[in-house]
């Protein structure tokens, strides 16, 4: 099933940040704990930013993502606590099934 057109996440767009925060029920994706302080929330990529274009294209096909999906598409962004985001910088923090789960979850909340 093809998803709707991808919208790119912009780090300086407070409305997009709030929409992601709200869509994930105001919780950290890694811990499930409530994120009380909106101003200190980090936003993390499910598929890491340094993913090669070849691997990204494989994941787009495997996960049935839209052709315009990019690393910065909203369905690739999660709200996190700063500690957890900074602790795992640019590594594949998720197994394939967990990565797929979070992407599908974000797609439903779009």
Q: Is 44 exposed, middle or buried (0-12, 13-18, 19+ CB in 10 A)?
A: buried
| 9 neighbors 18 (Cβ within 8 angstroms) | no
**Residue of 93 and 30 predicted with greater confidence:** 30
**Tens of pLDDT along 58-90?**
999 999 998 889 999 988 988 988 766 666 655
Whether pTM > 0.75 for this model: the answer is yes
């Amino acid at each position: 099933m093809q998803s709707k057109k991808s919208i790119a996440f912009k780090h300086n767009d407070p409305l997009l940040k709030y929409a992601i925060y709200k869509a994930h029920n105001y919780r950290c994706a890694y811990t499930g704990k409530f994120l009380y302080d909106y101003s200190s929330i980090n936003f993390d990529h499910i598929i890491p930013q340094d993913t090669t274009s070849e691997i990204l294209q494989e994941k787009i096909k495997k996960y049935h993502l839209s052709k315009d999906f990019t690393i910065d598409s909203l369905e690739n962004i999660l709200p996190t606590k700063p500690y957890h985001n900074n602790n795992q910088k640019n590594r594949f923090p998720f197994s394939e099934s967990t990565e797929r789960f979070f992407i599908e979850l974000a797609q439903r909340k779009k």
